[in-house]
């Protein structure tokens, strides 16, 4: 395996990594053939072309075209058409060294359908290795702050929320992810790729939350779990990032250190967590229901 990966050691990260653990839809029938194709230069070059198209079309700093010449408001909007086979092949012919320049035949030989290529591009684009060592370091610092009893817990939550929003709104592949979600109906391959991405990302955060919150002396309220909590926090982060991308006057950013994502996370954790020494086993729903019951009338003494 090392010899295979070494053949592309001069490519920038993460294209130089072992991609056989990331790609799922290459048209190969044997494990060895799959590993070799996942890690050859042409496969990396085709992925590079797709990633370039995503950044050019979706941003940040997207290249916009006007339908009506001279009218800046007549912006062309093409959903996923910009990732057509023809567009990918055109882009791959423009690859700069050290990437190869490929052909339509190279694309079709590796993926049985274009949906399979887009699905693998999604997996590759959302791979944690895309974010580089800075993100890995930031995530470790975030976990440490959440765990450290000497660091204010609420402040750590707000800081984590700011950084998560910064990451998502500036990640081109997140924008492709939103488009893919909106257009995935009827495409089993794309839907499965989206599902795998969700499970992978949320699974990593579930482990982080369990370590951090347990270190703080918390446990989930019955019948909640860290898995459910991770799902809800991930949905909040995605929704807030989508709102900020689409709404120029979005209230998501309160100031440089506060966001609605952070505020929402604080309230969610307040309802879903309890201290280890807290004997109250009621669920958040049961507690809310109890709040709606009319107060018991006081009976005056004789």
Whole-model pTM: value is 0.71
Percent of the chain with pLDDT over 70: 85
**Packing angle of the helix pair 188-215, 226-246 (nearest 10 deg):** 120
- What percent of the chain has a predicted confidence (pLDDT) above 90? 25
- Residues 154 and 215 both lie in one domain: yes
Question: Region 113-134: what's the mean pLDDT?
Answer: 77
pLDDT of the residue at 73: 47
Span 179-195, mean pLDDT? Answer: 79
Task: For residues 135 and 256, state if they share a domain.
Answer: yes
pLDDT at position 2 over 80? no
Together in a domain, 149 and 234: yes
CB count in 10 Å sphere of residue 97 = 7
CA proximity to 75, closest of 85, 84, 65:
65
pLDDT at 1: 56
Query: For residue range 205-258, what is the model confidence (pLDDT) as tens digits?
Result: 898 899 989 999 999 987 678 999 999 999 999 999 999 998 989 999 999 999
Does 116 lie in the same domain as 132?
no
Instruction: With cut-offs at 50, 70 and 90, classify the pLDDT of residue 57.
Output: confident
- Per-residue pLDDT at 64: 55
Residue 296 within a domain: no
What CATH code is carried by the domain that includes residue 135?
A: 1.10.357
- Asked whether residue 134 falls in the same domain as residue 194, the answer is yes
Lowest mean pLDDT among 35-44, 65-74, 189-198: 65-74
| 34 and 81 share one domain | yes
Range of the domain at 259: 128-278
Please count the other Cβ atoms lying within 10 Å of the Cβ belonging to residue 287. Answer: 12
- As a whole number, mean pLDDT of residues 149-175 equals 87
Q: Is the pLDDT of residue 72 over 60?
A: no
């Amino acid at each position: 395996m090392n010899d295979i990966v070494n053949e592309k050691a001069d490519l920038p990260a993460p294209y130089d990594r072992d991609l056989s653990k990331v790609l799922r839809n290459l048209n190969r029938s044997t494990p060895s053939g799959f590993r070799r194709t996942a890690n050859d230069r042409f496969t990396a070059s085709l992925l590079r072309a797709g990633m370039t198209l995503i950044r050019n079309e979706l941003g940040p700093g997207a290249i916009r075209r006007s339908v009506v010449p001279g009218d800046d408001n007549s912006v062309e909007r093409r959903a996923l058409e910009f990732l057509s086979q023809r567009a990918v092949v055109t882009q791959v012919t423009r690859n700069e060294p050290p990437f190869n320049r490929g052909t339509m035949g190279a694309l079709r030989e590796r993926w049985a359908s274009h949906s399979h290529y887009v699905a693998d591009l999604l997996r590759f684009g959302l791979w944690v290795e895309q974010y580089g060592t800075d993100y890995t370091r930031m995530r470790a610092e975030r976990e440490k702050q959440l765990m450290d009893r000497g660091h204010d817990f609420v402040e750590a939550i707000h800081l984590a929320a700011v950084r998560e929003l910064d990451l998502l709104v500036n990640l081109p592949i997140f924008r492709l992810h939103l488009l893919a979600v909106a257009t995935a109906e009827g495409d089993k391959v794309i839907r499965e790729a989206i599902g795998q991405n969700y499970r992978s990302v949320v699974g990593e955060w579930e482990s982080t939350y369990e370590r951090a919150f347990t270190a703080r002396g918390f446990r989930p309220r019955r019948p909640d779990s860290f898995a459910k909590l991770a799902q809800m926090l991930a949905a909040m982060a995605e929704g807030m990032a989508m709102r900020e991308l689409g709404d120029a006057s979005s209230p998501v950013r309160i100031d440089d250190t506060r966001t609605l994502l952070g505020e929402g996370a604080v309230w969610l954790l307040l309802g879903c967590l309890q201290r280890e020494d807290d004997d109250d086993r009621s669920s958040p729903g049961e507690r809310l229901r109890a709040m709606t019951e009319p107060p018991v009338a006081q009976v005056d003494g004789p």
